[in-house]
């Protein structure tokens, strides 16, 4: 499960052709663009080995250089209105925005419940035609 790829896919569906990075770039980021970074993860155990997992992310938007303030304001409104969930996966929660060093920074949480993967083979040797004799 690669949540960063799911975030990138959702952003790409909302803002096609905008570069999306998940690694620092030695030559700097092309503008406008997004950078996705996982901040922290927390796990709360539940019954039957289930877990409530919270993943906290930072999304940085590097605005157009010719009118950055207006661009960041418009992008914040777009993200508030449209970046609400990761399709067929999870809801995006606790969205917070601030301007940091000339870029729009959004922090948010993706919360989900995880279940243990059952790798046991079930009914592999079952043959319904065999009857058991009583002792």
pLDDT per residue as tens, the chain (135 positions)? 589 999 999 999 999 989 999 887 677 778 899 999 999 999 898 888 888 889 999 999 999 889 999 999 999 999 999 999 998 889 999 999 999 999 999 999 999 887 766 666 655 666 666 665 555
Q: What span, in angstroms and rounded, lies between the C-alpha atoms of 74 and 78? A: 6
Contact of 110 with 90, CB cutoff 8 Å: yes
Separation between Cα atoms, residue 32 and residue 135, nearest integer Å: 78
Give the C-alpha distances (Å, rounded to integers) separating 82 from 42, 52, 102: 26, 25, 23
pLDDT at 126: 60
pLDDT of residue 122: 59
Enumerate domains of the chain plus CATH numbers.
3-114 (3.30.2000.10)
Omega within 30 of 0 (cis) for the link into 32: yes
Tokens of 28: 């700097």
Please tell me the total number of residues recorded for the chain in this structure.
135
Q: Torsion angle, CA of 23/80/14/105, rounded to 10 degrees?
A: -20
């Amino acid at each position: 499960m690669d949540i960063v790829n799911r975030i990138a896919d959702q952003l790409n569906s909302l803002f096609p052709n905008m570069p999306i990075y998940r690694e620092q770039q030695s030559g700097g980021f092309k503008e406008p663009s997004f950078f996705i970074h996982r901040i922290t993860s927390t796990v709360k155990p539940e019954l039957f080995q289930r877990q409530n997992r919270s993943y906290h992310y930072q999304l940085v938007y590097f605005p157009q250089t010719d009118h950055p303030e207006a661009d960041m304001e418009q992008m914040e409104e777009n993200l508030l209105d449209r970046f609400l969930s990761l399709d067929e996966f999870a809801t995006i929660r606790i969205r917070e925005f601030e301007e940091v060093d000339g870029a729009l920074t959004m922090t948010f949480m993706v919360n989900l419940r995880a279940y243990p993967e059952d790798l046991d083979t079930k009914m592999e040797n079952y043959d319904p035609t065999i009857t058991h004799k009583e002792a």
